[in-house]
Amino acid sequence: MLPKLFFGYFAFAIIVLSLLVITRRNPVHSVMWMLLLFFQIASMYLFLNAEFIAAIQVIVYAGAILVLFLFVVLLLNLREELLTNRFISAWPVGLVFAGAIFAGAVSAVAAFVPNFSGQYTVDVINRETHTKALGQALYTDFLFPFEIASLILLIAIIGAIVLAKKRMRS
């Protein structure tokens, strides 16, 4: 009963906050609602016994990425920004597509039946702590994807430097 209540609250809050994020006219306010949204998502992870992911969600998304968003948004000309429309004129088309995808997703939900559990059950995670379990999985079974991900991050750094820093017309 109580878990369901909590889940319901977080799910509802996530939806409402997402709507607030995309409908605010002031981009700084959008970012702030998004911050709250990230917290709800982090709570959802906690709810799933994924404490490490929850902390990372806050540290990386709320603490780093969103602050950078805020940086960019702060440098916008807010007076002009407030006068422009929040959505481009084709938004009804987008709404139709979003609705279609939503309907598809809802129809898909029925197929999900909780009938299997993997190697990492809640008991294992509680015993080993989530951080340890995740680390072990990442460095053994998922070593290969992990290494590729590190290359992707390297590319991102190179790209940022090449596009922003490199002196032109050398």
Partner 1 sequence: MTGLFEAIVGPGSLDYIINLVIMLIIILLKIAAVVAVALLHVAYATYFERKVIGHMQLRLGPREVGPLGLFQPFADGVKLFFKEDIIPADADKPLFYLAPVIFFISALTSLSVLPFFDGFAVANINIGLLFLFAMSSLGAYGIVLSGWSSNSKYAFLGGLRSASQVISYEIAMGLSLVGVMMMAGSLNLSDIVRAQQHYPLGLFAVPQFLGFFVFVVAAFAETNRLPFDLPEAESELVAGYFTEYSGFRFALFFLGEYTGMLIMSAIASLCFLGGWGLPSFVTAGLPVVAAKVLGLFWFLAKVYAFMFFYYWVRATLPRYRYDQLMAIGWKLLIPLALANIVITGLVKIWIKGMV
Partner 2 sequence: MPLVMPDLKPITPEIVMTCLALFILVADVFIKRKETLALLSIIGMAAAAFTFALPGALNTTFGGMFISDGYSMFFKIVFALNVILTILISVKYLAVERVNFGEYYALLLFSTLGMMIMASAGDLIVLYLGLELMALSTYILAGFIRYDMKSNEAALKYFLLGSFASAFLLYGISLAYGLTGTTNLDRIAMTISEKGLAGKPALTLSMIMIAVAFSFKIAAVPFHMWAPDAYEGAPTSVTAFMSVGPKAAGFAVIGRVFLMAFPMVRAEWVAVFIPIAIMTMAVGNIVALSQTNIKRMLAYSSIAHAGYALLGIIAGTADGLASMMNYMLIYAFMNMGAFAVIIMLRSEGFKGDAISDYEGLSKTHPLAAALMLVFMFSLTGIPPTAGFMGKFYIFMAAINAGYTWLVIIAVIFSAISAYFYLRIVMNMYMKDPKETVTLTTSPSMGLALAITTVAVLAIGVLPAKVIYLARVAFP
> What is the crossing angle of helices 143-164 and 130-139, to 10°?
90
Q: How far apart are CA 21 and CA 39, in angstroms?
A: 14
User: Cα angle vertex 75, ends 69, 76, to 5°?
Assistant: 95
- Footprint of partner 1 on 23-62 (CB under 8 A): 26, 28-29, 32, 35, 51-52, 54-56, 58-59, 62
Task: Tell whether residue 72 is a contact of partner 1 (CB under 8 A).
Answer: no
> What mask of x and - would describe binding to partner 2 in positions 129 to 158, judged by CB under 8 A?
-------x--xxxxxxx--xx-xx--xx-x
CA 101 from chain center: how many Å?
Answer: 19
Task: Tell whether residue 63 is a contact of partner 1 (CB under 8 A).
Answer: yes
Q: How far apart are CA 162 and CA 79, in angstroms?
A: 32
Binding site for partner 1 (CB under 8 A): 1, 26, 28-29, 32, 35, 51-52, 54-56, 58-59, 62-64, 67-68, 70-71, 74, 129-131
